[in-house]
Chains A and B, each alone.
Chain A
Amino acid sequence: MMHDDLSARDGRDDARSRAPETPEAGQERPARVRESGKLADREVPIELTRTPDQIHAWLDGELPESAVRGAEAVRHVEFWKRLDRDLEVRRHAHAPVELTERIMAAIPATVPQAAAPWWARSVELSPVAVAAAAAGLLTIGAAIGATIKR
């Protein structure tokens, strides 16, 4: 079975960076500060537990449930089965039927066009702007010429 390198930093994000290190297997977990039945309602530092690899493998469909052994592992299985009752409902959620109509009513009436690259875009300049640009270029050219002559 392939095991993940859980020491890598990727994916830990803020919650992980603020959390104390996960205890090694076999060590006693530190006491968790939790109020009974009360959960945070926004992102909080989360102290991670150690879910056995065989539980991850079972949840990933790499192991059958019958292959999960040990009292601790069975406790994890029961926990995830209970959670899965709710996840199953979420898996069958559908977008509201009227959503397509609402989106179609909100999209522009015009046909979408690809944005042209900058070098292919047309530029409109007024005669005054052209004259100002020409005068500016002449001034810069004269200044450069004078500098070179010195």
Chain B
Amino acid sequence: MKTTVTPAQADQLEADQQIIGRVLTGHREDFSLLIMRYSDALYRHALGMTGSPDVAEDILQMSFIKAYQHLAEVRGRFDAWVFRIVANGCKDWLKNIRRTHLSYDEDDQPSGYATPEEDLDRTELRSDLDRALAALAPSLREAFVMKHVEGRSYEEMADLLGTTVGAPKMRVHRAREALQVLLEEKYA
């Protein structure tokens, strides 16, 4: 598959490779630079996939430990490589877990609304959206989260998922339609 690397990505790739080189020559503490650089985006992915801040943190921690252990094997983009580790961690968790209830920790999320009524609305919507996302097949949920939470382009999604551009686009469309079925009676 043809992958287009932008100048910004090329700079980032080079910077990551330099950090990896330093870590592999014994500067273990430099690995924290890679964690800080990518943890927010990866956390958003894990949170969107699992719906649980605690699980998202655990998946990130396990993924970065795995990434460190196999750092010498990185070929190409570190961000794409570590994304795949996290994405697989999320899918494994979804396969194994039988969830009874999941929602965002209320205290973790800042309120962006002016009135208590709006805040209450937001809490209910968040909870309903969490349940609706949990009802989607993992590949649809993954595509929706990558597009609407992480704000990735279809090209970027295809690059990270190793598919053609049409595949994530179709999954996002399917996810939207499914979410609308689940939520529109209450929110349309």
State the A residues within 8 Å of B (CB).
Answer: 4-6, 8, 10-16, 22, 32, 34, 36-37, 39-44, 46-51, 56, 59-60, 75-76, 78-80, 82-96, 99-100, 102-104, 106-109, 111-115
User: Which DSSP category, helix, strand, loop or mixed, fits chain A's interface?
Assistant: loop
Residue in contact with A37 in the complex, picked from B31, B43, B143, B186, CB distance below 8 Å: B186
Residues of A within 8 A of B179 (CB): 83
- Complex A-B, nearest 8 residue pairs according to Cβ-Cβ distance, in ascending order: A13-B137, A114-B72, A95-B43, A11-B171, A95-B39, A39-B131, A46-B178, A112-B71
Given contacts A51-B177, A113-B72, whether A94 and B36 have CB atoms under 8 Å apart is no
Residues of B within 8 A of A93 (CB): 40, 43-44, 47, 108-109
* B64 & A79 in contact (Cβ 8 Å cutoff): no
Residues of B within 8 A of A56 (CB): 173, 176
* A90 & B44 in contact (Cβ 8 Å cutoff): yes
Shortest Cβ gap from B71 to chain A (Å): 4
Tell whether B85 is near chain A: CB-to-CB under 8 Å: no
How many residues on chain B are close to A (CB under 8 Å)?
Answer: 80
The CA of A89 and the CA of B36, in the complex, are separated in Å by 21
The CA of A89 and the CA of B131, in the complex, are separated in Å by 17
Shortest Cβ gap from B116 to chain A (Å): 16
Residue from A13, A50, A91, A93 with most neighbouring chain B CB atoms (10 Å): A93
* B184 & A49 in contact (Cβ 8 Å cutoff): yes
* A44 & B135 in contact (Cβ 8 Å cutoff): yes
Residue in contact with A112 in the complex, picked from B72, B138, B154, B183, CB distance below 8 Å: B72
The CA of A115 and the CA of B33, in the complex, are separated in Å by 24
Tell whether B149 is near chain A: CB-to-CB under 8 Å: yes
* A107 & B64 in contact (Cβ 8 Å cutoff): yes
Residues of A within 8 A of B24 (CB): 111-112
